[in-house]
C-alpha cells in the first residue's frame, strides 16, 4: 500500500492556485483586523461642481452674442455685425444673426422705459446706452431682413434749452421772428 500512497501524494499537496488564494485571504483578514497594514485616511471629497445656472464671466450662453470692436452711439455692436453707414446722429449695422439674439443683446446694454416688439421689428424708442452721459437718448430698431438683421440707431436727444430765455427769445435764437414769415436764408 506504500506505493499507492506515494502515487496519491500529489492529491494531498496544495496546488499553486490554492496557495495564492489562501495567501491573499490571509492578507485581507490581517489588513482588515488592523494587525499588519496601516489604513490610509480617506481621500477628501471633491467640492461639488458649480450649478449649471452660474455662468462665468468669460462664457456665453447658447445663442448669446459676443461683443465686437465697433461702436455706434456708445453701443458696442455684436461681433457678427458690421457698420454700413455712420452719420452724426444715426448709424446702420447689418449682420447674419437672429433678430431675437440682437434684441436680447441690446436689451442687456441699454436702459429703456419701453420696448415695442413686433413680428419683424423690435424698437427701443427712448433708450439710454449704459455708460453714456445722462440725458443722451437713442432710438434703436432691430429689423429682421430676409437673410440678415439690421440694427438702426438714431440720436433723439432733445436739444438743450438755454436757461433764462423767454419763449420769444428762444424762437429768435432759432431764426424765427414771431409775426414774420419764416426766412430759410436766415439759417
pLDDT of residue 171: 79
User: Does the pLDDT at position 130 exceed 80?
Assistant: yes
Percent of residues, the chain, with pLDDT higher than 90: 38
Rounded-to-integer distance, Cα 128 and Cα 109, Å:
9
Domain boundaries of the chain, sorted by first residue: 67-155
The mean predicted confidence, pLDDT, of the chain is 78
Q: Which three cell numbers stand for residue 116?
A: 415695442
What pLDDT does residue 166 have?
84
Residue-wise pLDDT for 38-67, tens only, equals 555 666 656 555 555 555 556 766 777 878
- Measured CA to CA in angstroms, residue 152 lies from 64, 133, 138, 143 at distances of 20, 20, 10, 8
Could you tell me which residue, 68 or 184, shows the higher pLDDT? 68
State percent of the chain over pLDDT 70.
64
6 half-sphere exposure, CB direction, 13 A CA radius? 3
Q: In a 3-state reduction of DSSP, which class is residue 49? A: coil
The pTM (predicted TM-score) of the whole model is 0.59
Q: How far apart are CA 80 and CA 66, in angstroms?
A: 8
Which range, of 68-77, 93-102, 167-176, averages the lowest pLDDT?
Answer: 167-176
* Mean pLDDT within 178-184: 67
Which of these, 125, 113, 133, lies nearest to 156 by C-alpha position?
125
Selected residue with higher pLDDT from 96 and 4: 96
Residue 76: predicted pLDDT: 92
Amino acid at each position: 500500500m506504500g506505493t499507492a500512497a506515494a502515487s496519491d501524494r500529489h492529491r494531498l499537496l496544495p496546488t499553486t492556485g490554492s496557495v495564492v488564494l489562501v495567501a491573499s485571504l490571509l492578507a485581507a483578514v490581517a489588513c482588515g483586523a488592523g494587525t499588519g497594514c496601516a489604513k490610509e485616511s480617506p481621500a477628501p471629497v471633491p467640492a461639488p461642481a458649480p450649478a449649471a445656472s452660474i455662468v462665468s464671466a468669460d462664457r456665453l450662453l447658447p445663442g448669446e452674442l459676443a461683443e465686437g470692436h465697433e461702436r455706434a452711439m456708445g453701443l458696442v455692436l455684436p461681433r457678427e455685425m458690421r457698420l454700413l453707414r455712420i452719420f452724426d446722429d444715426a448709424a446702420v449695422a447689418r449682420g447674419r444673426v437672429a433678430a431675437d439674439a440682437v434684441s436680447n443683446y441690446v436689451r442687456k446694454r441699454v436702459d429703456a422705459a419701453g420696448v415695442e416688439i413686433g413680428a419683424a421689428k423690435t424698437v427701443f424708442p427712448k433708450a439710454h446706452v449704459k455708460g453714456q452721459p445722462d440725458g443722451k437718448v437713442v432710438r434703436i430698431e432691430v429689423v429682421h431682413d430676409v437673410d440678415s438683421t439690421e440694427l438702426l440707431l438714431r440720436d433723439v436727444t432733445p436739444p438743450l434749452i438755454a436757461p433764462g430765455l423767454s419763449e420769444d427769445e428762444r424762437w429768435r435764437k432759432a431764426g424765427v421772428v414771431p409775426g414774420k414769415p419764416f426766412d430759410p436764408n436766415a439759417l
